[in-house]
Amino acid sequence: MSPLLKPLHYVAGLALPPRCPGCGAVMIEDHRFCATCFGSLRFLGPPWCAGCNLPFEHDRGAGALCGACLAHPPRHAGVRAAVAYGDVARTVALRLKYGGRTAFAETVARTMARLMPEGAELLVPVPLHRWRIWSRGFNQAALIAQALSRVSGVPTDPYSLWRVKATPPLRGLGQRGRAKAVAGAFRIVDKERVAGKAVVLIDDVHTSGATSDGCTAVLRRAGAASVTILCWARVLAETGDD
């Protein structure tokens, strides 16, 4: 920072101090959670299912699969989420998506970076339909992908995957209803952008998986070597929100 700007930065810090993304408590640095909010977050990671990255209570050994993956192996290469969906994770996601707290994109990207797949070549955000972007003003997944790209050095392409059909809210539709709602909703405009690449699909919250499955299918048909989903929070069965 320029020496001339340091006094202004100091004054701005007094007027608008960093705050906890979860509860708003005043913090020393940006993008940090207070002890209470941090302690309530459930950070996810191994041991997990080798197919979908569903967390296991104990290590079942390399290559162990959950029941769902044994019955129906996914086309994606796993769903990696920084935290389990809960009160604080929900608050952060909602403030980013609907509260205009776009700086939270960097907050969540920093927690997601540790789960970046080895050999990742391209970050692709889950797209919004143009009507949703016009009303909201931004795509939160694209903001997260941009922040994650700065942290990890993996390039991002927000224009390779498009949502060409507006979809209704998927909550409560059931598995078949969700799949039907997203059918034909996504399109690759230029296959060369993703062909042969290890793609990481970026989103804020992973719930039923219908949206990511639809995106994965389109990316794989376009020639992507692999598709791994990476998100801020994942709804787990025991939360009751799936």
Q: How confident is the model at residue 112 (pLDDT cuts 50, 70, 90)?
A: very high
In this structure, the answer to whether residues 76 and 54 fall within a common structural domain is yes
What integer is the mean pLDDT of 68-83? 95
pLDDT above 70: residue 215: yes
In this structure, the answer to whether residues 69 and 188 fall within a common structural domain is yes
Instruction: Return the pLDDT at 7.
Output: 46
pLDDT above 50: residue 239: no
Residue 180 makes CB contacts below 8 A (sequence gap 6+) with none
In this structure, the answer to whether residues 20 and 45 fall within a common structural domain is no
**Nearest 10 degrees: Cα torsion 145, 121, 219, 150:** 10
pLDDT above 80: residue 232: yes
**Residue 68 domain boundaries:** 41-239
Instruction: Return the pLDDT at 211.
Output: 92
In this structure, the answer to whether residues 35 and 53 fall within a common structural domain is no
In this structure, the answer to whether residues 207 and 193 fall within a common structural domain is yes
In this structure, the answer to whether residues 46 and 20 fall within a common structural domain is no
The string of DSSP codes covering the chain is --TTTHHHHHHHHHHS--B-TTT--B-SSTT---HHHHHH--B--SSB-TTT-PBPSS---TT---HHHHHS--SSS-EEEEEE-SHHHHHHHHHHHTS--TTHHHHHHHHHGGGPPTT--EEEEPPPPHHHHHHHSS-HHHHHHHHHHHHH---B-TTSEEE-S-----TTSHHHHHHHHHTT-EEES-GGGTTT-EEEEEEEEESSSHHHHHHHHHHHHTT-SEEEEEEEEE--GGGT--
Whichever domain contains 135, its CATH number is 3.40.50.2020
Instruction: Return the pLDDT at 169.
Output: 63
In this structure, the answer to whether residues 115 and 198 fall within a common structural domain is yes
In this structure, the answer to whether residues 25 and 135 fall within a common structural domain is no
In this structure, the answer to whether residues 84 and 135 fall within a common structural domain is yes
In this structure, the answer to whether residues 152 and 216 fall within a common structural domain is yes
High-pLDDT (> 70) share of the chain, %: 86
In this structure, the answer to whether residues 34 and 46 fall within a common structural domain is no
Q: List the single range of 7-21, 160-174, 179-193 with lowest mean pLDDT.
A: 7-21
The pairing of beta strand 79-84 with beta strand 226-234: parallel
Instruction: Return the pLDDT at 166.
Output: 73
Burial class of residue 239 (count of CB atoms within 10 Å of its CB; 0-12, 13-18, 19+): middle
pLDDT above 60: residue 100: yes
In this structure, the answer to whether residues 56 and 166 fall within a common structural domain is yes
| Per-residue pLDDT tens digits for 169-183 | 666 666 676 767 677
User: What total number of domains does the chain contain?
Assistant: 2
